[in-house]
Amino acid sequence: MTLIKSISGIRGTVGGPSGENLTPPDVVKFTTAYARLMARRNPGKKLTIVVGRDARISGRMVADLVEGTLLAAGADVIDVGLCTTPGTEMAVIAKGADGGIIITASHNPRQWNALKLLNADGEFLSDAEGRELLALAEESAYDYPAVDGIGHVLAREDFNPEHIRRVLALPAVDAEAVRRCRFKVVVDAVNSVGGIVMPELLHQLGCEVVCLNCSPTGEFAHNPEPLPENLTEISEVIVREKADLGIVVDPDVDRLAFVSEDGSMFVEEYTLVAVADYILSRQPGNTVSNLSSSRALRDVTERYGGRYYASAVGEVNVVARMKEVGAVIGGEGNGGVIYPELHYGRDALVGTALFLTWLARKGMTMIALRATYPSYFASKNKIELTPAIDVDKVLREIKARYSSEQVNDTDGVKIDFAENWVHLRKSNTEPIIRVYTEAKSRDEADALAQRFIGEIKEICKI
C-alpha cells in the first residue's frame, strides 16, 4: 500500500516497509517535517503543539512516536488523549497552541492510521503548506536540538467535557427544548472515541441513550464509514427499542449520520441539509458544500433567499470557501457539519445538538422531517487504482466527451446534467477513483454511475 500524502494528512496502513506504509520511521519523518514547518511559521518561538487521537488500536503507539518526535524537535506538547477531531481542533484554539496533530484515519478500516495536521487556528494545513511540509520531509539532513533544547509535556488533560460545554452554550442550541422531548436515541460509535463523547452529550440534552458499539477499544464492530450498508445493526436496534432516532459517527467523530424511527436511513447527505435548514431559519445567508454533495443544500439555501457555493473536496477547501463568501453554515455531504459560530471544522457534536434542536422545534418525527426536503438519491462508487489506470488521462477524456455540458474541473471532473450529476475524482484518502452520482431516483443514480464506470474502464482498457 502506497503511503498517501494529501491535504487530508499523512495516511497509510500500519506496518510493512517504511516509505510505503505508515511505519515508525514514516511517523518520525513527517512529524519532524511538521515541527520544522511550524517553526518556520513562528521564528524564534518555543512551539506548543496539541496532540489527540481516536481509539483505533495503533493510536497509542503512533501517539507515543509523535509526542517523542515533537519533544525531540524542541516543541512542547499538550496531550488531550482520546479526543475527537473537532475537539482537538478546538483545543488548539483554546490552549493558544501553535498547531496540532490528530492521530486518526477517520473512516478508514482498523489497519489504517494517519496524521491530520493543524495550524494555529485549529484548521487543516493549506495545500501550499502541505507541499512545503512534504519538501521538508524529503530533506536528508536536520539537526535536532541538544538535550537542553528538547520540549516538555505541558499537560495531559481531557478536553471532551469542554467541547460538550461549548456546544451546549451556543445560542442556536435550545437544550431545554430538546430535554422536554426526552428523545430515545440509539448511538453507534463504532467502538471509538465517539463512545465517550456522544452518550455524554445526549445525556446532558436529556435523552434516553441506548449505546451500541460505544466501548473505545478500537476494534471496529463494522466498516467504520457511516454508509447504509454498514448500518444494519443500528436499524434493527432502533426498531426493537422503539427509539425516536439513531445517531452514527465515524471513529474520529467529524462525520454524522442519522437513522429514522423505522430503521430507514435519514441519509448522511441530509445531515447538513437539515442542520442548514435550521440555521437558515434563524439567520438567512450563504452556504457551502463540496462538489460531491447533494443539490438539496442549494435548494434549501435558495428557499431562504441565500446563495449556495461549491468548493473542491476536502475540509480545508470548504472552510476557505466559507470564509470567502461569509457562509453561515457549510460542510460536506458525507455528514460533515461546519458551524462557524463554534469553529471551522466538521463536528458531529454540534451537528447533533443543532439537529435535535430543529427536530424538537418542528415537533416532527424523523420520517416527517425528511419528507420536507427535496428528494435526491446518491450513488457512491469507487474504482481501485492500478498501474493500468492513468487518472489524469481518464479525467481529460471524460471532460472532452462532455464538453457541451456544464463541466466543473475544480476538483476532478463534475458534470451537471439537467436532472442529475456525476463527479469523478481521485480520492485524497484512499488509492481509488471516486464515482459519485445523484439523481431523482435510486435506479437512475445507480445507472448513471455504472455508465461512467463503464466509460472509465473503456478508456483504461480494463
Concatenating the DSSP letter of every residue in 22-76 gives: B-HHHHHHHHHHHHHHHHHHSTTPPPEEEEEE---TTHHHHHHHHHHHHHHTT-E
What backbone phi and psi angles, to 5 degrees, belong to 99? 170, -175
**Residue 291 CB partners (closer than 8 Å, separation 6+):** 310, 311, 312, 313, 408, 410, 411, 412, 414, 423, 425
Look up cell 446518491; give the residue: 378
* Residue written as grid cell 445523484: 438
Pairing type for strands 287-290 and 256-259 reads unpaired
Q: How far is CA 180 from the centre of its chain?
A: 31
CA distance 36 to 182: 50
DSSP code string of 436-452: EEEESSHHHHHHHHHHH
Residue 113: beta bridge partners?
A: 12
First to last CA, the chain: 21
- CA neighbor of 256 nearest in space, from 362, 348, 319: 348
CA distance 106 to 84: 10
Residues of the chain falling short of pLDDT 70: 1-2, 7, 462
Name every residue whose Cβ is closer than 8 Å to that of residue 394 and which is 6 or more positions away in sequence. 424, 433, 456, 459, 460
Q: Which residues pair with 421 in a beta bridge?
A: 416, 438
Beta pairing, strands 153-156 & 76-82: parallel
Per-residue model confidence (pLDDT) at position 3: 83
Between CA 160 and CA 162 the distance in angstroms is 5
The DSSP code for 228 is: G
SS3 state of residue 211: strand
pLDDT score for 252: 97
Tell the residue number behind the cell numbers 487521537, with chain if given.
53
The sign one gets for the Cα dihedral 235, 240, 242, 247 is negative
Among 8, 58, 106, 293, which one carries the catalytic annotation? 106
Strands 208-212 and 184-188: what pairing?
Answer: parallel
CA angle 403, 406, 412 (to 5 degrees): 80
106 is catalytic: yes
Cα 94 to chain centroid distance, Å, stands at 21
Instruction: Look at residue 78 in the predicted model and tell me its pLDDT.
Output: 98
Q: How many CB atoms lie within 10 A of CB 19?
A: 12
Contact between 332 and 318 (Cβ < 8 Å)? yes
Q: Are 284 and 265 in contact (CB under 8 A)?
A: no
Distances (CA, A) of 129 to 40, 90, 246, 316: 11, 20, 39, 12
Using a 10 angstrom Cβ sphere, with 0-12 exposed, 13-18 middle and 19 or more buried, the burial of residue 305 is exposed
3-state SS class at 162: helix
Q: Which has the closest alpha carbon to 411: 389, 427, 388, 387?
A: 427
- Residue 277 is given by DSSP the state H
Q: CA 287 to CA 160: how far, in whole Å?
A: 28
Q: How many residues does the chain have?
A: 462
Sorted by where each starts, the structural domains of the chain and their CATH numbers stand as: 4-158 (3.40.120.10), 163-370 (3.40.120.10), 377-460 (3.30.310.50)
